[in-house]
Structure 1
Amino acid sequence: MSAAEFAAAQWTRATGAGVDPHEYRRVTDGLTSVADWGPSFVRTGLVYLDRAEGAGSSVTTGEYLLTAARWFHLATLGPSAEAGRSAAAAADRALGRALEIREPGARRLTGEGFTGWLRGPADAPGTVVVVPGLDSAKEEFLDLVDALLARGLAVFAMDGPGQGVLAATTTLTAYYERVVGRVVDALGVASVGVVGLSLGGYFAARSAALEPRVAAVATVSGPLRLDWAELPEPVRDIMARRCGGAGAAREFAGRVDLTDLAPRIEAPLLVVDGGQDVIPGVTNGEPLARLAPHGTYLSVPHGDHLLGNARPDWLPHLTDHIAHTLIGARP
């Protein structure tokens, strides 16, 4: 794949993550190969770190740091695993610095197989866990977190095994309900909502089926099941890196199947898919919504994977679903 093709494929994901579309064009137009992706995006992130150092106010400093975190995270989408690890660490640091400035009440929580930031009021009427996917991370979905915070909820945006900053030291696990269970323990709450994006949709739905403290759930571009033999080679390559080898990745993919678990999801479930999201080897979420006892399906015809090109068509609906379910469920 050429650099131009790769940049075009990542376009709505990057702009959906919050980077300026014009700057994205300028950065990617200068790429001569996909190998230049990581270094170019890291350099852009460093520009924003420099701007943060010279900013005239704490508000501006925090804004620049958040932008740096976005660029560093997007740098991890390049082909170099080693460069991706260092970029993920830079994204993690930039996000942490931004929150320390912007939200002094935000708390870093780390435990076995997870790390992330808990944001929002201490007396929030509900808490939501945001779960990333195969190569996403807590730095990618800041607009989703902001929308949940605006509805009065507390939000824990996390990296799990094999994700984000933890990809350097851990590998993906299909048994994500165990991770979510430890997260709920660390949060010290009776129940949570869970939102999962891309492969995180599988993690969220599985957790809702097997962890009884999940009281509301939503998936965005999440798979019902995966077929390793049909997955595109780039997806298999990423999965192999995140699982610790091709054999482990094949085994992991074979476990991604919600057919039998979907009927066990008692929490209200919203499944969001894009009509243009067609990845070979991936069964989209419509059967998941149909099989779940309280499932609702929202398909956005023009939406692509993660629906970065259709934010207004689903983001308010999803965040209202989570907020109404959690707040309405409170005694």
Structure 2
Amino acid sequence: MPDDRIAAALTHWGPRFTAQGVDPNDVARTIAGLERWADWLDAWCALGDLHAGLAREAEARGRRLTAGHAWVRAALAYHFAKFVWLVDLARHDAAEDRAIAALAAAHRCLDPTAERLEIPFDGAHLAATLRRPPGAARPPLVLVVPGLDSTKEEFFWWEQVFLDRGLATLSVDGPGQGETGRRLPLRHDWEAVVAAVLDALADRRDLDLARVGAAGVSLGGYYVPRAAAFEPRIRALAAIGGPLDFGALWDDLPPLTREGFAHHARARDPEEARARAARFDLGPVLGRIRQPFLVVCGQQDRLIPWRHAEEVARRAPRGELVLYPEGNHVCNNIPYKYRPLVADWLSEQLRG
């Protein structure tokens, strides 16, 4: 019988694994017989090693497409090995390094124009991936923003939905996220993050920075509207599965989520973590968001109640709610519905 943490991870995030590109058969094999949370990381890293081996073999034979897809699968496995696993931080960070390297190898094979950016911020830097659609001289740009435990290494196929519609993407690990989180803790005032990103891109001639959109998932669905309330360079935004008031949810969040927030916020104890979570409240700023704002949520979301999305859309001056009755957290059980919707909507807003 798996322990409670394994069961919680599968209950809350199982559909996310496959939505992001993990083969469901790999999920089943990886968790089969897994009973101790302490063994989670090793099981998923073994899956990553399997796909990394397939990638190297394909590259040696000159099969770049096959290799690239295998590298994406490896990156996802290494990422999900450590995404909410904080048992041993040295091993956590080692798995993260492997995810970063695997995604870089995937880009080398599948999208060699992809760029790694390191954007100066608060005495450190924000790590980001910039991708541009082929054949577009100055495409609009979509900022793709992770949540509490997602990172840019998770977003290859999510980015592709925007790229297929002629939109460039910049997936960024902000403070407390992914590799940036090793240097900078979580912060609620994401307008500072977005301002630094857009300032760093200002001199580029291969992006149309008069047409910038943003899409955030889960806690990224807080970060994006918070930033848009103060940053007019965001022309349209979408939040998927985001909270109105994260602090108000604190007592009902899964222990893995509370522990993850405390770690990424560098809180000294649970009470400090609770106090910091209370800062993540869109209520005081929703009236400032004048841009078109798409709010997407699933009515079966067990992490962020759908009423939060309903209230965000109601209180934002140009809010538009799309509620999927069957959708779970971030609607990852129906990615074929929400992803095209968000990409089409942002494309229409940025080109309208």
Q: Which TM-score bucket, shorter chain as reference?
A: over 0.9
Q: CA deviation at 1:38?
A: 0.8
Q: CA deviation at 1:295?
A: 0.8
* Corresponding letter in the other structure for 1:159: D
Partner of 2:85: 78
Structure 2 distance, partners of 1:22, 1:168, is: 32
Return the TM-score normalized by structure 2. 0.88
Q: Say whether the 8 Å CA contact 1:276–1:302 is kept in structure 2.
A: yes
Secondary structure of residue in 2 paired with 1:139: helix
Secondary structure of residue in 1 paired with 2:349: helix
Partner of 2:188: 174
Q: CA deviation at 1:4?
A: 4.4
CA deviations on 1:166-205 (whole Å, 9 max, x unpaired) are: 2222211111111111111122233411100000010001
CA deviations on 1:299-330 (whole Å, 9 max, x unpaired) are: 111111121111122111111111111112xx
Q: 1:231 aligns with which of 247, 253, 257?
A: 253
Q: Percent identity?
A: 37
* Corresponding letter in the other structure for 1:62: G
Structure 1 distance, partners of 2:301, 2:140, is: 31
Partner of 1:143: 157
Structure 1 distance, partners of 2:14, 2:50, is: 21
Instruction: Show structure 2 runs of 5+ residues with no match.
Output: 203-208
Count matched residues. Answer: 328
Partner of 2:323: 299
Instruction: Show structure 1 runs of 5+ residues with no match.
Output: none
Structure 1 distance, partners of 2:218, 2:168, is: 22
- Cα–Cα, structure 1 residues 238 and 324, in superposed 2: closer, same or farther, change >3 Å? same
- Cα–Cα, structure 1 residues 126 and 280, in superposed 2: closer, same or farther, change >3 Å? closer
Q: Say whether the 8 Å CA contact 1:106–1:117 is kept in structure 2.
A: yes
Q: CA deviation at 1:264?
A: 0.8
Structure-to-structure mapping, 1:193-272, within 5 angstroms: 193-226=213-246, 227=248, 228-245=250-267, 246=269, 247-272=271-296
Partner of 1:118: 130
CA deviations on 1:62-94 (whole Å, 9 max, x unpaired) are: 111111111111111324251322212211111
Q: Say whether the 8 Å CA contact 1:73–1:87 is kept in structure 2.
A: yes
Q: Say whether the 8 Å CA contact 2:245–2:281 is kept in structure 1.
A: yes
1:128 maps to 2:142 = yes
Q: CA deviation at 1:238?
A: 1.0
Higher mean C-alpha deviation, range 93-102 or range 300-309: 93-102
Q: Say whether the 8 Å CA contact 1:124–1:152 is kept in structure 2.
A: no
Partner of 1:154: 168
1:65 maps to 2:78 = no
Structure 1 distance, partners of 2:14, 2:254, is: 19
Structure 2 distance, partners of 1:60, 1:141, is: 19
Q: CA deviation at 1:248?
A: 4.3
* Corresponding letter in the other structure for 1:295: G
- Cα–Cα, structure 1 residues 283 and 92, in superposed 2: closer, same or farther, change >3 Å? farther
Q: Say whether the 8 Å CA contact 2:298–2:327 is kept in structure 1.
A: yes
1:22 maps to 2:25 = yes
- Cα–Cα, structure 1 residues 5 and 133, in superposed 2: closer, same or farther, change >3 Å? closer
- Cα–Cα, structure 1 residues 179 and 283, in superposed 2: closer, same or farther, change >3 Å? farther
Partner of 1:37: 40
* Corresponding letter in the other structure for 2:298: G
Higher mean C-alpha deviation, range 143-152 or range 185-194: 185-194
Q: What is the aligned-residue RMSD (CA, Å)?
A: 1.8
1:314 maps to 2:338 = yes
CA deviations on 1:198-255 (whole Å, 9 max, x unpaired) are: 0001000101111110001000100010223443433211111111123542232111
